[in-house]
Amino acid sequence: MTINQQVFLKSRPAGIPQAKHFDIRDGVIPEIGEGEFLVRNHFLSADPAMRGWISDRSNYSPQIQLGETMRALAVGDVIESKNAEYARGDLLMGIFGWQEYSAASGKNVILRVSDRALPLSAYLGVAGMNGLAAYFGLLDVGAPKAGDTVVVSTAAGSVGSCAGQIAKIKGSRTVGIAGGPVKAQQCLEDFGFDVAIDYKSMNDLDAALIESCPDGVNVYYDNTSGVISDAVIRNIAGPLCPTRPNSAPEQICWRTLAGRLPRARIERQSCRTKSQCSAIMSGPANKMSVG
């Protein structure tokens, strides 16, 4: 009988997960029921979201229990099926777990492999959810035009690196924000960004953005929120908020929920005075469309 090797959660990490928090066991290949199919996994994905799934804190997705096989994206082929929608030989990407074989149903499937000329591993990256997030978030929400300045945070990551390359294809000028000199260099050499900002080496991110984006930021693809997004939003193209130093009155006030709603298009509200601006900033959030 063929063994089904599985990676399971051995202990719950207090910080960054380490190899000691996981273990490998020899499981049994599952038998499938009506409506199910058996997937033989070829590639498994390790994603940042998984850290939240194994944390001791509440998360948007159900917590993985100790002893449970790691929930994960994987890509593989159907080797047995009792589901008319999925035939033997179909190549699928979905939530199949860190294991060699997975009994699955249609609810586990995220997409079918449409182009068999691509490496299967691409469907866990640029041809999978990461690439789709970059494509639709940037083009449908950000809608950059030729000549626009597009800033991407986490620009060396799986989504950010795709977003930067798509923006370049559209003729935009691209500025990537990444942490550390290696990632910043990767943005320039591997992903083709015009400018890379290493935020970890910056004492003044606003100054770096002003230097890199002299005409302001037209489109911001946010993968981080927090202080990085705050700095980018302060440098959105157009008049600045009068609460900023050296700003003139009757300019534009910006408000965002970027910390909770990434990849948002911000609408503008005008204000003439500092008091007006403060009222807008503390009032209801401006409308925005979210990718």
**Mean per-residue pLDDT for 119-137?**
94
Outline which parts of the chain fall under CATH 3.40.50.720.
Answer: 130-290
The pLDDT score that the predictor gives to residue 250 is: 35
- Say whether pLDDT at 167 is over 60: yes
What is the average pLDDT across 117-127? 93
Note the pLDDT tens digit of each residue in 41-64.
Answer: 999 999 888 999 999 887 788 999
pLDDT score for 59: 78
The answer to whether 176 touches 160, Cβ cutoff 8 Å, is: yes
Distance (Å, rounded) from C-alpha 68 to C-alpha 272?
58
Q: What pLDDT does 262 receive?
A: 38
Once rounded to an integer, what is the mean pLDDT over residues 200-204?
A: 92
pLDDT at 238: 67
Q: What is the mean pLDDT of residues 250-262?
A: 36
Sign of CA dihedral 136, 98, 224, 199: negative
Per CATH, domain 3-124 is 3.90.180.10: yes
- Rounded to two decimals, what is the model's pTM? 0.74
Q: Rounded CA gap, 9 and 18, in Å? A: 11
Query: How many other CB atoms sit within 10 Å of the CB of residue 216?
Result: 15
pLDDT of amino acid 265: 41
All CATH 3.90.180.10 domain ranges in the chain, comma separated: 3-124
Superfamily of domain 130-290: NAD(P)-binding Rossmann-like Domain (3.40.50.720)
